[in-house]
Amino acid sequence: MSRVPLPYTQKVLDLFRNPKNLGKMEDATVTAVAGNPACGDMITFYLKINDQEIIEKASFESYGCAANIATASIVTEMVQGMSLEAAWKEMTWKKVTEEVGGLPSVKFHCGVLAVGALKRAIRKYFQNKNVSPSWVPQELSFEEKQALEEEELAKTLAKRLNVAEENQS
């Protein structure tokens, strides 16, 4: 329950102040969410994908901290114009973290969540089309797994919260 110092980088601050590609995309090809709505720390990712499986545009909304906003924003910039395959293979939370000039270690998960949402969106795109390219393995990527884990953790916390509520007179 304690706190940690959070000396965000200039880049994180810049993206926090002026996030790129912010907002709901009405004509998105695919949308994915990572994190848990009941527990905050949530991100929505919108992708516009063309017939050549190129990401034409990406946008996001974040119900998270400055690190989450900044990493989500930079992911939307990085993937623009990328093929889905390249995005899947090249986008990792480490790369994204580097791209924002590093993050305090307690904030790694915020970048993981952003990349998790992207990978979920890509996976979902193929699921919707009922195809499974060889480069999207059955097994979840690290970021997807982490996102799942965070959601599970959030659920447990939410359960504890309900118990607390029941205890009230």
Instruction: State how far the Cα of 120 lies from the Cα of 28, in Å rounded to an integer.
Output: 14
Size of the site for another protein (CB under 8 A): 50
Decide if residue 22 touches ligand FES (CB under 6 A): no
Q: Please say if 39 is a catalytic residue.
A: yes
Q: Please say if 65 is a catalytic residue.
A: no
Decide if residue 39 touches ligand FES (CB under 6 A): no
Choose, from 67, 96, 100, 110, the residue flagged as catalytic: 110
Among 57, 64, 70, 114, which residue sits at the site for ligand FES (rule: CB under 6 A)? 64
Strand, coil or helix: 143: helix
Strand, coil or helix: 72: helix
Instruction: State the alpha helices, DSSP H only, in 38-168.
Output: 66-79, 84-90, 93-99, 108-129, 142-166
Q: Shortest approach of ligand FES to residue 110 CB, angstroms?
A: 3
The region of 3-11, 21-29, 64-72, 73-81 touching ligand FES under the rule CB under 6 A is 64-72
Decide if residue 108 touches another protein (CB under 8 A): no
Q: What is the DSSP string of 19-66?
A: -SSBS--TT-SEEEEEE-GGGS-EEEEEEEE-TTSBEEEEEEEEES-H
Binding site for ligand FES (CB under 6 A): 41, 64-65, 67-68, 107, 110
